């Protein structure tokens, strides 16, 4: 069992060193043994106040040259949607599953084993890790009685207080540490992609990120009416958009967070030689949360930011300060089933109220850290705020 501790700078260095080590090991496995045991005993380590059972299930092969999807989910939400998401991506996925109690371990473990055994696309692509608070098991082991338990796998609905404690950025960072690809795409549950997304963008990344590694390859994201057929390409998406069955992601729920200029021109553009709509754009809106493909070496998410309060946006803030620029991808896109309305935000607002003090402290410390680490870009990026 490994332990991580110390100052924030030490922790960041440990994250990068561990990620480099894992990538080297996985690359060696890829080149020397293409068929590792997918259900070998899962090792564990203590990471801050959480236990991590990493590589609980692993893919049959490792391909370093692909784009790995970085994903996280709470155990009570883990269901057949993960099979759909992995099948849609059809490339490596590194998934963190967060337990709110050790009582959730058996059902989570059995479900991961089941889908790995019965779904070829899961067996080929999914690498999963289980995370839980170390207070449940200081030595990060699972009591044998829980391993053998046969319990009803219906979960009790979580309280606002429990949801507010969800360690989203720890889950994201753990999934990143144990991914094994040159390029990454950090997603959320139920994010689905246009046909051939990974293959198309990988070709763009091979060219563009070799030329300019400090680049975010940003893609447009949409919500689709659930009664519609899901779009496979830009032509089908445009038809849905024109009749109101597709909208920019969260256009109603939280306008502006995912808007990207030039949508009519993007729809009208037939093709491009390099797969890019525009290049070298700046990050100019503090509330913009562009979704992107990048090299695996980008900064990690700041783990002090609490759930539902800029916990994902904070990575964009830091990448701006680190000098990253934005290219907008042509043709490809992400979509989510269902259009979220204004009334969907009551639970989110309750979680935000619960986490307000943590956010204020995290934001103040983040700004100080950015000014210390990246002093030259202080005036080049929007000021972070709620």
Q: What pLDDT digit, counting tens, does each position of 340-369 carry?
A: 988 778 899 999 999 999 999 999 999 999
Exposed/middle/buried for residue 340 (C-beta within 10 Å: 0-12, 13-18, 19+): middle
Are residues 202 and 142 part of one domain? no
Which of 154, 185, 216 is where one domain is finished? Answer: 185
**In this structure, what token pair is assigned to residue 251?**
């256009």
Model confidence at 17, pLDDT cuts 50, 70, 90, reads low
**Residue 384 resides in a domain:** no
Give the range among 14-28, 199-213, 286-300 with minimum mean pLDDT.
14-28
Are residues 288 and 177 part of one domain? no
pTM above 0.95, yes or no: no
Are residues 372 and 271 part of one domain? yes
Greater pLDDT, 30 or 177: 177
Model confidence at 2, pLDDT cuts 50, 70, 90, reads very low
Are residues 315 and 225 part of one domain? yes
**Residue 383 resides in a domain:** no
Are residues 211 and 121 part of one domain? no
Model confidence at 13, pLDDT cuts 50, 70, 90, reads low
Are residues 338 and 249 part of one domain? yes
Greater pLDDT, 250 or 342: 250
**Residue 386 resides in a domain:** no
Model confidence at 111, pLDDT cuts 50, 70, 90, reads very high
What is the rounded average pLDDT of the residues 61-69?
A: 97
User: Count of CB atoms within 10 A of residue 92's CB?
Assistant: 27
Q: Model confidence over 308-330: pLDDT tens digits?
A: 999 999 999 999 999 999 999 99
Instruction: Give the list of residues 6+ apart from residue 217 with CB closer than 8 angstroms, or none.
Output: 201, 204, 205, 208, 209, 292, 293, 294, 327, 329
Place of tokens 């998934």: 95
Are residues 178 and 79 part of one domain? yes
Instruction: Give the list of residues 6+ apart from residue 363 with CB closer than 8 angstroms, or none.
Output: 305, 310, 384, 385, 386
pLDDT at 226 (0 to 100): 97
**Residue 226 resides in a domain:** yes
Does pLDDT of 11 surpass 60? no
How many structural domains is the chain composed of?
Answer: 2
Nearest to 170 by CA among 129, 142, 137: 129
pLDDT at 332 (0 to 100): 98
Which of 150, 185, 220 is where one domain is finished? Answer: 185
pLDDT at 33 (0 to 100): 40
Are residues 269 and 149 part of one domain? no
Greater pLDDT, 66 or 252: 66
What is the rounded average pLDDT of the residues 237-247?
A: 98
pLDDT at 6 (0 to 100): 42
**Residue 201 resides in a domain:** yes
Which of 168, 185, 202 is where one domain is finished? Answer: 185
Model confidence at 153, pLDDT cuts 50, 70, 90, reads confident
Greater pLDDT, 114 or 26: 114
Are residues 211 and 173 part of one domain? no
Q: What is the mean pLDDT of the chain?
A: 91
Segments forming the whole domain that contains residue 20: 2-185
**Residue 127 resides in a domain:** yes
**Residue 114 resides in a domain:** yes
Are residues 235 and 97 part of one domain? no
Are residues 372 and 318 part of one domain? yes
Are residues 245 and 150 part of one domain? no
**Residue 382 resides in a domain:** no
pLDDT at 95 (0 to 100): 99
């Amino acid at each position: 069992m490994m332990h991580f501790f110390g100052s924030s700078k030490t922790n960041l260095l440990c994250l990068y060193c561990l990620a480099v080590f894992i990538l080297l090991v996985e690359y060696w496995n890829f080149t020397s043994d293409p068929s590792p045991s997918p259900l070998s005993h899962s090792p564990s380590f203590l990471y801050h106040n959480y236990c991590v059972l990493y590589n609980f299930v692993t893919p049959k092969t490792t391909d370093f040259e692909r784009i790995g999807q970085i994903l996280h989910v709470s155990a009570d939400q883990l269901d057949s949607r993960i099979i759909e998401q992995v099948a849609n991506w059809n490339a490596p996925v590194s998934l963190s599953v967060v337990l709110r109690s050790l009582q959730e371990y058996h059902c989570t473990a059995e479900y991961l084993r089941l889908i790995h055994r019965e779904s070829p696309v899961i067996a080929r692509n999914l690498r999963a890790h289980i995370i839980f608070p170390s207070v449940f098991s200081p030595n990060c082991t699972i009591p044998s009685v829980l391993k053998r338990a046969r319990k009803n796998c219906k979960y009790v609905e979580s309280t606002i207080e429990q949801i507010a404690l969800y360690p989203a950025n720890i889950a994201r960072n753990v999934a990143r540490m144990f991914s094994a690809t040159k390029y990454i795409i950090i997603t959320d549950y139920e994010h689905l992609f246009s046909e051939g997304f990974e293959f198309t963008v990988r070709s763009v990344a091979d060219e563009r990120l070799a030329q300019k590694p400090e680049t975010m390859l940003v893609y447009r994201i949409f919500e689709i009416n659930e009664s519609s057929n899901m779009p496979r390409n830009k032509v089908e998406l445009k038809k849905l958009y024109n009749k109101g069955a597709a909208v920019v992601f969260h256009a109603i729920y939280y306008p502006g967070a995912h808007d990207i200029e030039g949508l009519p021109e993007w729809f009208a553009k037939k093709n491009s030689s390099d797969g890019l709509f525009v290049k070298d754009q700046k990050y100019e809106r503090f509330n913009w949360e562009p979704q992107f493909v990048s090299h695996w070496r980008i900064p990690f998410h700041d783990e002090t930011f609490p759930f539902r309060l800029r916990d994902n946006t904070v990575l964009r803030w830091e990448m701006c300060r680190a000098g990253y620029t934005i290219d907008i991808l042509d043709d490809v896109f992400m979509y989510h089933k269902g259009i979220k309305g204004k009334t969907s935000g009551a639970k989110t607002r309750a979680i935000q109220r619960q986490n307000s003090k943590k956010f204020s402290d995290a934001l103040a410390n983040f700004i100080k850290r950015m000014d210390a680490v990246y002093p030259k870009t202080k005036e080049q990026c929007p000021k972070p705020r709620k």
